[in-house]
Structure 1
Amino acid sequence: MTSGRQLAYDHLKDTVLSDPAMQGQFVNEQSLADDIGVSRTPIREALLLLAAEELVQLVPKRGAYIAPVAGRQIRELFELRGMMECYSARRTLELDTVPVPEMRGELDRQRALRADDDARSFIDLDHRFHSALVRAVGNDMLTKSYDGLRARQVRAGIVALFSAENRRKAVLDEHDAILDALAGGDAAAAQAAITAHLDATRHVLLAG
């Protein structure tokens, strides 16, 4: 059975932190406890874990604060993603383990979403598209390190969708370019496409 702390942690990390409306807001512990169906103690325990991950800030006498994603955090996140994903592109081509069918499936599901579908579904598929490539390297430490960025990646991706008109279509086009290069066995083109995709999102976030 999943503990109350784990339920609270998962809900906070996967839902509350990725809600653009919560950026710059304090967490209402009682409201959150009511939504999940637990007491406030598991909520506080989960917030301590998230504070240790630097995903929330604990302010004395005020509670847990969800700070807007800052410029330095954005730059560091996308620099780290670029290193991991570009390496994964080159390495999977060397190993002949590029997960083209899996990535194409995630991209097709992204494309099938209606324009009015929630941004969270779109960005969840975005993460799955990229993580499939990293996972295909077969390096467990790399995969775990990349998965550790998931909450920040999802949060940044959702904010970017709300910050730029037609960002959804641009993301689909950029994913197409990455997949075409990988399917064609062109490591340099794949790395260039990944870099262009990440740079585009980073620029949207820094400008917004």
Structure 2
Amino acid sequence: MTSGRQLAYDHLKDTVLSDPAMQGSFVNEQSLADAIGVSRTPIREALLLLAAEELVQLVPKRGAYIAPVAGREIRELFELRGMMERYAAQRTLELGTAPVQEMSGELDRQRELRAAEDARAFIDLDHRFHAALVRAVGNEMLTKNYDGLRARQVRAGIVALFSARNRREAVVDEHDAILAALADGDTAAAHAAITAHLDATQHVLLAG
């Protein structure tokens, strides 16, 4: 049975932190407790965990603050993602484990959501697309560390969708390029496509 703290932690990390409207706001503990159906104690415990991960800031006498995604955090996030994802492309092509079919399925589902209003679902598929590549390396420590970036990746991705017109179309096109390079077994092209995709998203975030 899932504990109240875990319910609160998952809801905060997967829903509240990725809501663009919550950027620059304080968490209302009572409203959140009512929405999830728990007391305020699990909410506070979850916020302590998120503060330890530097996803929220605990301000004395005011509560938990969700700071807007900062420039330094954006640059560091995308630098780290780039290193992991380019390595994953190279290594899976060397091993013959590039998950082209799985990534193609995620991209097809993402393509269907281009005109939908559900930004969260679109970005969830974005994460699944990239995570499939990293997971295919077969290195559990790499996968665990990449998954640890998920909350920041989803948060940044959703903000980017609201910051630039036609960003969804561009993301799908950029994913197409990554997938084509992997299908061709072309490491250099895969590296270039991954870099172009991450650079484009980073540019949108820093400009917005």
* TM-score normalised by length of structure 2: 0.99
In the other structure, the counterpart of 1:72 is: 72
Residues 157-172 of structure 1 mapped to structure 2, 5 A cutoff: 157-172=157-172
| Cα-to-partner distance string for 1:72-122 (whole Å, 9 max, x where unaligned) | 000000000000000000000000000000000000000012513310000
CA distance in 2, matches of 1:109, 1:61: 44
Alignment RMSD (CA, Å): 0.5
Hey, what's the Cα distance between the residues in 2 that align with 1:137 and 1:85?
A: 10
Task: Give the match for residue 156 of structure 2.
Answer: 156
Q: Which amino acid aligns with 1:124?
A: D
For 2:102, the equivalent position in structure 1 comes to 102
Runs (5+) with no aligned partner, structure 2 = none
1:8 is aligned to: 8
**SS of structure 2 residue aligned to 1:183:** helix
Are 2:121 and 1:130 aligned? no
Output the CA distance in 2 between the equivalents of 1:114 and 1:35.
29
The equivalent of 1:85 in structure 2 is 85
Q: Percent identity?
A: 88
Distance across 2 between alignment mates of 1:108 and 1:117: 17
Contact (CA 8 Å) 2:8, 2:46: kept in 1 or not?
Answer: yes
TM-score (norm 1): 0.99
Distance of 2:57 and 2:175 partners within structure 1: 34
Corresponding letter in the other structure for 2:183: A
Structure 2: distance between partners of 1:113 and 1:84? 27
Paired residues of 2:92 and 2:98 also in contact (CA < 8 A) = yes
